Amino acid sequence: MQAILRHNQTNYTIDFSKPLDISLSLRGDDKNPVAWYLKAPRIQPVQEGNWVGKVSKGGSVNFNNIYFNPHGHTTHTECVGHITSEYHGINESLKTFFFSAKLISVEPVKSDGDEMITKEQLKAHFREGEAQAVVIRTLPNSIAKRSKHYSHTNWPYLKEEAAVYLRECGVQHLLIDLPSVDREEDGGKLLAHKAFWNYPKNTRFEATITELVYVPSRIEDGFYFLNLQPASFENDAAPSRPVLYKPEQI
Percent of the chain with pLDDT over 70: 100
Residue 111 resides in a domain: yes
CATH number for position 105: 3.50.30.50
Confidence at 9, pLDDT banded by 50, 70, 90: confident
pLDDT of residue 175: 99
Confidence at 7, pLDDT banded by 50, 70, 90: confident
Residue 65 resides in a domain: no
Residue 119's nearest CA partner among 153, 161, 80, 157 is: 161
Tell me the per-residue pLDDT of 58-96, one tens digit each, with 9 for 90 and over: 999 999 999 999 999 999 999 999 999 999 999 999 999
Residue 69 resides in a domain: no
Residue 47 resides in a domain: no
Residue 66 resides in a domain: no
Confidence at 4, pLDDT banded by 50, 70, 90: confident
Amino acid at 216: P
Total-model pTM: 0.96
Residue 227 resides in a domain: yes
* Total of domains in the chain: 1
Q: Is the pLDDT of residue 45 over 80?
A: yes
Q: Is the pLDDT of residue 5 over 80?
A: no
Q: Which residues of 171-203 are buried (b: 16+ CB within 10 A; e: fewer)?
A: bbbbbbbbbbbbbbeeeeebbbbbbbbbbeeee
pLDDT of residue 10: 79
* Domain that residue 214 falls in: 2-26+76-249
Amino acid at 204: R
Percent of the chain with pLDDT over 90: 94
187-192: long-range contacts, CB 8 A cutoff, minimum separation 24: 190/83, 191/160, 191/163, 192/157, 192/158, 192/159, 192/160, 192/162, 192/163
pLDDT of residue 2: 76
Residue 174 resides in a domain: yes
Q: Is the pLDDT of residue 102 over 90?
A: yes
What's the mean pLDDT when you consider all of the chain?
96
Residue 36 resides in a domain: no
